[in-house]
Amino acid sequence: MLTLHLKSIYVYTMKYSQRYQELNIQFRLGVDTHLIESNIDIRHFSFRSNYIPDSCGNTTKASPNENIEENTSFVYPVFMPCNVKQADKAILLLHGLNERNWNKYLTWAEFLCSTTGKPVILFPIAFHMNRSPLNWSNPRTLQTVMNLRRQLNGEDRSLSFANVALSNRISERPYRFYSSGRQSVQDLSLLFEQIKQGNHPLFQENTKPDIFAYSIGAFLAEITLLANPRNLFSESKLFLLCGGGIFSSMAGESRSIMDKTAFHTLYDYYLNQFYQSEETNCTKDDLFHSFNSMISTERDKSERELFFTRLGNRLKGISLVNDQVMPYQGIPDALGTICSENRITQLDFSFPYTHEHPFPVGGLTDSRAVDDGFIQIFSQAAEFLN
């Protein structure tokens, strides 16, 4: 069983909501920080993606929106126990769709780092977090796009300043969902290669990173393990939170994710057009087939379910009963019924929560109940990843 460090108990027992606020005051992206309470250093490292968008020779498909410098060159934070100079283990934390900051993940990373003693890498998915231009989250610069979408689609209540940039990009070219995922897998492969070869200053050679994946990050992680580029992920454990289901079960319409029109466009494209699209003609490799197998349950069903079943003790997850975006039913559709029953736990909380905010902070929420819910889930995650 997992033994929590004393400082972890001091910081987190009944104090998740408080710690959320404290960390968001202390954290500055790109600025190294020492967290006195947990004795953890937040270190930042530069990364440059070597991904080249593939337009299959069709120059009309090549868009200036694919060549965004912020997406190519960026920094990522690592939570590191300050008494460890070089680690031989690591946890990669993958976030959700359409997120622009690490706010809700700081407590997650600190808890996992403090309780397991392992560094936790917060790596941004392509075109997310600090890999996107600032104007994608600036209401002033988005007002014109907002007005145009309202004119075209009517008063869609799911449209918001938080989702209008992604909604517009997906509506314009739904292929971007796949291409950004493809870039993310290649970037993760490069990162894992650097770590395993001893070319990262925080890690010893042959370090074996595990993965904690939430929401669309869980979908990305499953595809990555399925494709297993250069056998880099053959030993990685995977913990899924609020994710892991088949694409066709997802309900991405949300004021925090994408509007109704964009989601319907995305759904139709991947269920009915993706495989035969001219944009995929030159990329039908292992990664393509792994992604395609996660679109609907009948695609490569037996091979996909066998793969996840064979992961055995390398796979564990938690699904929340009231999760409307990534409902539990999509998980057995992806992993198979037996694997899901053995490896995925369904939980519910006494306080109101959503997929986007499983541990709500502020308002009239019972902070003590949220503290308990957080500890309940993350102690299980830490024990699995320890």
Residues 97 and 322: their CA atoms lie apart, in Å, by: 18
Q: Tell me whether residue 340 is in a domain.
A: yes
Is the pLDDT score of 55 beyond 60? no
Instruction: Tell me the pLDDT tens digit for each residue of 185-225.
Output: 999 999 999 999 999 999 999 999 999 999 999 999 999 99
Q: Tell me whether residue 102 is in a domain.
A: yes
- Band of the pLDDT at 58, cuts 50, 70, 90? very low
- Band of the pLDDT at 56, cuts 50, 70, 90? low
Q: Tell me whether residue 53 is in a domain.
A: yes
Q: Tell me whether residue 283 is in a domain.
A: yes
Instruction: Tell me the pLDDT tens digit for each residue of 236-269.
Output: 999 999 999 999 999 999 999 999 999 999 999 9
Q: Measuring CA to CA, which residue among 244, 226, 355, 234 is closest to residue 292? A: 226
What is the percent of the chain with per-residue pLDDT over 90, rounded to a whole number?
A: 87
Is the pLDDT score of 63 beyond 80? no
The whole domain housing 319 covers 6-385
Q: Which helix (H) or strand (E) holds 185?
A: helix 175-196
* Residue 58 or residue 283, greater confidence: 283
Q: Measuring CA to CA, which residue among 286, 287, 250 is closest to residue 270? A: 250
Is the pLDDT score of 61 beyond 60? no
Residues 103 and 170: their CA atoms lie apart, in Å, by: 25
Residues 379 and 3: their CA atoms lie apart, in Å, by: 9
Q: Tell me whether residue 1 is in a domain.
A: no
Instruction: Tell me the pLDDT tens digit for each residue of 15-27.
Output: 899 999 999 999 9
Q: Tell me whether residue 124 is in a domain.
A: yes
Instruction: Tell me the pLDDT tens digit for each residue of 298-342.
Output: 999 999 999 999 999 999 999 999 999 999 999 999 999 999 999
Q: What is the 8-class DSSP label of residue 53?
A: -
Average pLDDT, the chain: 92
Q: Amino acid letter at 304?
A: R
pLDDT of residue 2: 46
CATH number at residue 51: 3.40.50.1820
Number of structural domains found in the chain: 1
- Band of the pLDDT at 155, cuts 50, 70, 90? confident
